[in-house]
Amino acid sequence: MSVGIMSAMDIEMELYLDRCEIQRSVQRAGLTVHEAAWGGHDLVLVKAGVGKVNAALCTQLLIDAFEATAVLCTGSAGALVPSLDIGDIVVGTDCVQHDLVVNFMGLPRGQVPFTHHRFFETDPMLRRYALEASLPEHNIVEGRILTGDRFVEDDRHRRQIQEDLHGHCVEMEGAAVGQVCTVNEVPYLVVRAISDRADGTSDIDFESFLQDAARSSSQIVLQMLDALSPGFASSATP
Ligand code: ADE
């Protein structure tokens, strides 16, 4: 029984590797998986890589090969609402794939064809603990996370996905983690720090604020784990 923590990029994972006690590192499916400890919790730490395929592959690996009984996905995101500032934290209430569109079937954006899946709800208990964490000078809010295999960096694209899905922020992995966790009945949570505004300035902001966003989101996750009693994952609500 362990808590899986995944990020898309090295810069995000390195902060966990620096702070947690690493016990063993192994190679699986092209990924380096670190078994670690933090505050009495057994953790499995992995940099999954960017995008939904990497995220899905990594999540299933965490569940099957490393017995993850909860999965946390952290890193940066682009803001979709004006009230969010760079550095603020979004704790996901649910995640949806903004780039999954099958018009001819008459399905709404994000609906997975031939299933009832569209919005993947995160675990309420994990959410509550994340919202109780604190970060000086930044807000921590809950909201919907939009996921897709395309970096959102222009107004037209942002408006198009927002019109249908009304998200708080956009990133590239959360809903893939959500779908895999949902079908495996494993609780999950996505915690994102805002690195840009998902508009024409995104490329510059993303480069400048990525490190800060990585630090902020990892701080929330580690605070959350400090507050949760070891073994919570065996009783978490799927
Ligand atoms: N991650 C951080 N910023 C992003 C953006 N604008 N689009 C998609 N993923 C992101």
Show me where the domains of the chain are located: 2-229
pLDDT at position 235 over 90: no
CB neighbour class for 24 (10 Å; exposed up to 12, middle 13-18, buried from 19): exposed
Region 138-159 average pLDDT: 96
Of 170, 192, 201, which is best to mutate to test ligand 1, by the most ligand atoms within 8 angstroms of its C-beta? 170
CB within 8 Å of 86: residues ≥ 6 apart: 79, 194, 195, 196, 197, 205, 209, 212, 213
Confirm or reject: Cβ of 214 under 6 Å from ligand 1: no
Ligand 1 centroid to 170 CA: how many Å? Answer: 6
Residue 232 has pLDDT above 90, yes or no: no
End-to-end Cα distance, the chain:
15
pLDDT at res. 23: 97
Number of residues in the chain: 238
Mean pLDDT, residues 151-158 taken together:
94
DSSP string, 84-105: PPTT-EEEEEEEEETT---GGG
Residues noted as catalytic:
12, 196
Span 2-229 CATH architecture = 3-Layer(aba) Sandwich (3.40)
Mean per-residue pLDDT, 70-75: 97
pLDDT interval class at 234 (50, 70, 90): low
* CB of 179 sitting under 6 A from ligand 1: no
pTM of the predicted structure, to 2 decimals: 0.95
Ligand 1 in reach of 76 Cβ (< 6 A): yes
Give me 40's structure tokens. Answer: 């009495």
205 lines ligand 1 (CB under 6 A): no
